[in-house]
Amino acid sequence: MNIVTEYPTWFFLFCLSAGFVYSFFLYRKDKKLDELSIWFIRLMATFRFSVVTILSFLLLSPLLKSIHREVEKPIVIIAQDNSESLIIGKDSSFIKKEYKQNLQKLINDLSDKYEVYSYSFADKIKEFTSSDSLKFNEKQTDFSSLFAEIETRYSNRNVGAIVLSSDGLYNKGFNPIYSSEKIKVPIYTIALGDTTVNKDIILLKAEHNRLAYLGNEFPVEIVINAKQFKGKTTTLTVSKGDATLFTQTVNFNSDAFIITVPVLIQAKEVGLQHYKVKLSSLPEEVSVANNISDVFMEVLDARQKILILSDAPHPDIAAIKESIESNQNYEVESYLLSDFDKSLKKYNLVILHTLPSVHNPASKILSEINASNIPVWSFSGASGLFQTDLSKASYTQKTNEVEPVLDQNFPLFTISDELRKAIKDFPAVVCPFSTYQTENNSNVLFYQRIGIVDTKKPLMLFNTIGENKVAIFTGEGIWRWRLQDFAAHNDHNLFDEFISKTVQYLSVKADKSFFRISGPGNFQENEAIQLEAEVYNESYELINEPEVNITISNSENKKFPFTFSKTSNAYRLNAGMMPVGEYSYEAKVKIGEKIFLQHGKFSVSALQIELSNTTADHQLLFSLAKKHNGEMVYPNELDKLVSKLNSREDIKSVSYSEKKLSDLINLKWIFFLLLGLLSIEWFLRKRNGAY
């Protein structure tokens, strides 16, 4: 420790001179002190000399330079696998009791010489202080996150070694051999679990889509794995409540048997449906918990209802209807206008063929369509009129045969490359010989080619009237396109694509509700339940001033109230993890004097991936330790692990030197020294009558 300044050292002579001159002239001619002894005067002069000298020196901005030395003990990181695969085998009792005690003893023994940090890892990485907190109940094992966390937390620290205890099984992230590339310290592994191939039947997975539509059949692919049960059988059952929907006997013809069983299930009810997949158990199975899987499926009644109205029978109508009905999500009804007497409210789209026409203005049905805000697809035909803001600038009884020319920049929906190529070969349709006037916001899909001339006359275009979508086909005869598609490709897929894309665009309406709740329909049991909410005002602007409350109910009607947190312009809820099951919710918000409600459902599925493999992978642990200059030990060798670490010469304490500069004026003792010197001098002068 020493004192340094920004000025040359000899400047201190000026400080001494200032102190000497000040004290000399102060006490040399002071007649009030004539009666005092010379040594007493010199003592007070010394006090004043010291104060002035120190103050002058402080004006030089002196710094106190110090060097601190710190010794850091080597760090040993204990990483314990906390997944449920550790307690599936026969040694589960040992791991729950004796091993946890031995692990705690290892931590205590290492703490005498090393700085020990203990972590559990699986779904999450958590620090623990006692092995009693280990529950071995987490649902996935991720080595990658563990190594990334260690690299982040202990970069540039004196890490001596990592002790990793696991069964070597991982089902999330990357292979530990590769994900540990950045770890530059020895890794010692403790090999838990049993490498013996145990007798077990495992329902590996039941793969399915998240959504199904009412009345449809949806597939479930069930993957079954059987170990050491050659010659035995099990019964696969798929049930819903008390009803059995599917059953099949599975014969195991090898000791390492795996099979995929496809199952089709009829979606008969709307809403969140719960199906249970089960394999009958056999004696000597190491675990029966992996014989069952839950399937949660959201069944929607989303079949769009399409109405076709025509002035007269026409082959176009049959072609359009058959194409739309090829998609099970659509339900089509067709009528002659003279026979139709139903309400339009239940329909999502109306297709008008040659309506209105010169002979049939169809004014009543057009008024109903406009009043109901139903999307329209209009086929004007050779003699039809237009039911939109598209109009004929001129009209004659003459017709043209025109071929379609695709607008390559059409923006409303995408068209496959195969359909783009096929359109060039579609045969001509019949259109009236007319000129057209369109609005600027129209989007043309097809233009007319007359002979060899490409025109800017629209053959098919899309527009919007108010909030209603409208499509216009300015001719008739697209049944020929369907026949051409079959002749060229032996199917109607490309023609069906054209019809389906058009119908889908027209029939889908934007969600204009003022209150929305969104989130996945299914969560895994190790996931937090997270939902988002949006609230809109009358101007349809996002707001988040009002409070949004939600009540989640489980299958036993137990209620859990929550309040959404506000984000920048919306809301978010994290309700934490919930047990496996089905849940419903009611969300509420008050906007002004109006109360808006939203109802919904979600499910929490069991995650059984840890149960799909019951054979420990000690080879991976051995390779991991060898790659990082460590060793693999078994649970009964933990005492040896301490001696192995102690014997390593590369695990040592590190001494750090740190230089610090601090302003001398900030030292409190200097202030009190100056105050003390001045106070003593003042007291002595006062006592002897100098003041």
Digit-coded pLDDT (tens) for 276-315: 999 999 998 888 888 998 888 888 776 789 999 998 899 9
What range does the domain containing 390 cover?
304-507
Instruction: Classify residue 503 as exposed, middle or buried by CB count within 10 Å of its CB (0-12, 13-18, 19+).
Output: buried
Based on the fold, state whether residues 492 and 388 are members of the same structural domain.
Answer: yes
Based on the fold, state whether residues 266 and 379 are members of the same structural domain.
Answer: no
Q: CA 662, 667, 673, 674 torsion: positive or negative?
A: positive
Based on the fold, state whether residues 215 and 185 are members of the same structural domain.
Answer: no
CATH of the domain at 318: 3.40.50.880
Q: How far apart are CA 188 and CA 139, in angstroms?
A: 24
Query: Does position 252 have pLDDT exceeding 90, yes or no?
Result: yes
Average pLDDT, the chain: 88
CATH of the domain at 280: 2.60.40.10
In this prediction, residues 53-74 reach a mean pLDDT of 85
Based on the fold, state whether residues 88 and 192 are members of the same structural domain.
Answer: yes
**Collapsed DSSP state (helix, strand, coil) of residue 224:** strand
Other Cβ atoms within 10 Å of 570 Cβ, number: 17
| pLDDT tens per residue across span 596-654 | 999 998 988 888 787 788 789 999 999 999 999 999 999 999 989 999 999 999 899 88
Q: How far apart are CA 495 and CA 173, in angstroms?
A: 44
Q: How far apart are CA 259 and CA 224, in angstroms?
A: 5
CATH of the domain at 559: 2.60.40.1220
Residues forming a β-bridge with 503? none
Has residue 655 been placed in a domain? no
Other Cβ atoms within 10 Å of 192 Cβ, number: 26
Q: Per mean pLDDT, which range of 204-213, 332-341, 642-651 is the poorest? A: 204-213
Query: Does position 581 have pLDDT exceeding 90, yes or no?
Result: no
Based on the fold, state whether residues 125 and 183 are members of the same structural domain.
Answer: yes
Q: What is the pLDDT of residue 394?
A: 45
Sheet with 271-279, side-by-side order of all strands? 211-213, 292-300, 271-279, 233-240, 243-251
Domains contained in the chain, number: 5
Q: What is the pLDDT of residue 392?
A: 42
Q: How far apart are CA 444 and CA 430, in angstroms?
A: 18
Based on the fold, state whether residues 18 and 46 are members of the same structural domain.
Answer: yes
Based on the fold, state whether residues 264 and 357 are members of the same structural domain.
Answer: no
Has residue 625 been placed in a domain? yes
Position 316: which residue type?
A: D
| pLDDT tens per residue across span 398-444 | 888 999 999 999 999 989 999 999 999 999 999 888 777 776 678 99
Has residue 610 been placed in a domain? no
Q: Per mean pLDDT, which range of 28-42, 131-145, 195-209 is the poorest? A: 28-42
Q: How confident is the model at residue 385 (pLDDT cuts 50, 70, 90)?
A: low
Q: What are phi and psi of 246, to 5 degrees?
A: -160, 140
Of 458, 487, 507, the last residue of a domain is 507
**What contacts 24+ positions apart, CB below 8 Å, involve 583-587?**
583/552, 583/553, 583/554, 583/555, 584/552, 584/553, 585/517, 585/531, 585/550, 585/551, 585/552, 585/553, 586/550, 586/551, 586/553, 587/515, 587/517, 587/533, 587/548, 587/549, 587/550
Q: How far apart are CA 380 and CA 471, in angstroms?
A: 11
Based on the fold, state whether residues 42 and 89 are members of the same structural domain.
Answer: no
Has residue 653 been placed in a domain? no
Query: Does position 65 have pLDDT exceeding 90, yes or no?
Result: no
Has residue 651 been placed in a domain? no
Based on the fold, state whether residues 205 and 254 are members of the same structural domain.
Answer: yes
Based on the fold, state whether residues 329 and 256 are members of the same structural domain.
Answer: no
Has residue 311 been placed in a domain? yes
Q: What are phi and psi of 485, to 5 degrees?
A: -60, -45
| pLDDT tens per residue across span 256-271 | 999 999 999 998 888 8
| pLDDT tens per residue across span 139-155 | 899 999 999 999 999 98
Has residue 394 been placed in a domain? yes
Based on the fold, state whether residues 536 and 490 are members of the same structural domain.
Answer: no
Query: Does position 241 have pLDDT exceeding 90, yes or no?
Result: no
Based on the fold, state whether residues 314 and 451 are members of the same structural domain.
Answer: yes
Has residue 619 been placed in a domain? yes
Q: How confident is the model at residue 389 (pLDDT cuts 50, 70, 90)?
A: very low
In this prediction, residues 512-534 reach a mean pLDDT of 90
Residues forming a β-bridge with 431? 400
Residue 654: name the closest of 33, 151, 74 by CA.
74
